Amino acid sequence: MAAPEGFVPPPYPYDRLDAFARLGAAHEGGLVDLSIGTPCDPPPESVLAALGSSDSERGYPPSIGTPALRDAIRGWIDRRFGIDVPASDVAACIGTKELVATTPQFLKLRTPSRDAVLYPAVAYPTYEMGAILAGCRPVPVRTVVAADGTTTLDLDSIDAADVERALMLWVNSPSNPTGALCDLDAAATWGRRHGIPVFSDECYVEFTWRGGPRTILETGRDGVIAVHSLSKRSNLAGLRVGFYAGDSDIVGYLKEVRKHVGMLVPGPAQAAGVAALSDDEHVAVQRDRYRRRLGRMAQILSQWSGLQVPLPDGGFYLWFDAGDGWAFAERLAREGGALVSPGDFYGLGGSHNVRVAVVQTDERIERVAERLGVH
């Protein structure tokens, strides 16, 4: 068969770390994987009980989420942010990665004259991939950091032609990988001024270390969508439950098109999602774990390398300038048996950096300290 003329999926970023993973695995006690942001701590018991007892296996689940799930989502938004979102403006997704990856194609079908997807220049790679999969143009937007550490997308730097052709703008606060908090008011105001929907990925919001947790819904629902996930909040990346809430017209459109595609969160997972969203105690425990591990890991890495390793304003990643992200990742795998992500996974602007996910137990983190000879 002839070589394809069109899209060929690029290597999955983490697959490129295989050689470093082997270096780490050669250490006694094996690899300590701090590369992918996959939680290692257990989800609450109540969630596992709900998963096995919902009696929802036989029938097709509603694509938008069961009334119980949408109620639980609304209850959480109200407790967390003091905002009452109508049930009609909330819907489920199968984890948020699929929503990030598929929404541009659905918006493009609706507005074929627009074809640009705007997103932060150093960001979760799926914003760019979603644009590519839709046959759209990914347009990275650089960020400016204010004196207080808040980041603002430099929206004025976007080419006028791209603004005119923009289908959507992604923002992410707290950010993966940088941990920075984004000025959501500025993004929402800009989007409304230009008639461009702003999608705010807030899946790390429960782990906000500076100020309180923020959602773009605080600016109103008009023209904005907040995107959330149980993967990080409740250690449920394997369950695949996320949700989105906001602008009535956009939620209404996405709900309909996603139903046609068969985007269904399995019934037992929806029931488990209700249990997870109804409980805040396990999140408080998790918050303490991440805060402690971030502090300890920053201490270990700065003592060992002599580099400055700042603590993030949110999320559970350390993100710091290591000179050369790939060289640092290799050295840490060789000497500490730990795997971290070179910063260029998140955009070329990140190539000096590394991202360290503190998603291993305290005991595994101490093992890295021992190997590096740090106390």
Q: Which of 24, 37, 43, 343 binds ligand PLP (CB under 6 A)?
A: 37
Q: Please identify, among the stretches 94-102, 156-164, 181-189, 320-328, the one whose residues bind ligand PLP according to the rule CB under 6 A.
A: 94-102
Task: Note if the bond before 104 is cis, omega within 30 degrees.
Answer: no
Q: Which residue among 63, 66, 96, 235 contacts ligand PLP (CB under 6 A)?
A: 96
Residue 227, SS3?
strand
For position 221 contacting ligand PLP by CB under 6 A, the verdict is: no
95 binds ligand PLP (CB under 6 A): yes
* Tokens matching residue 173: 């606060």
Q: Record the tokens describing residue 81, joined without a space.
A: 């942010």
Q: How far is the CB of 97 from ligand PLP (least distance, A)?
A: 3
Enumerate residues 112-141 that contact ligand PLP by CB under 6 A: 124
Q: Which of 237, 271, 275, 372 binds ligand PLP (CB under 6 A)?
A: 237
Chosen residue from 66, 143, 151, 172 binding ligand PLP by CB under 6 A = 172
Residue 253's nearest CA partner among 101, 63, 106, 74 is 106
Token match 């890991």: residue? 297
Residue 107's contacts (CB-CB under 8 Å, 6 or more residues apart) are 114, 134, 167, 168, 197
Query: How many Cβ atoms from other residues are within 10 Å of residue 179's Cβ?
Result: 26
223 lies in the site for ligand PLP, by CB under 6 A: no
> Interface with ligand PLP includes 242 (CB under 6 A)?
yes
Q: Which residue has the tokens 């429960």?
A: 206
In angstroms, give the least distance from the CB of 235 to ligand PLP.
11
Phi and psi at 267, nearest 5°, equal -50, -50
What is the identity of the amino acid at 232? K
Q: Which is nearer to ligand PLP, 23 or 245 (CB)?
A: 245
Positions touching ligand PLP (CB under 6 A) are 37, 95-97, 100, 124, 172, 176, 201, 203, 229, 231, 237, 242
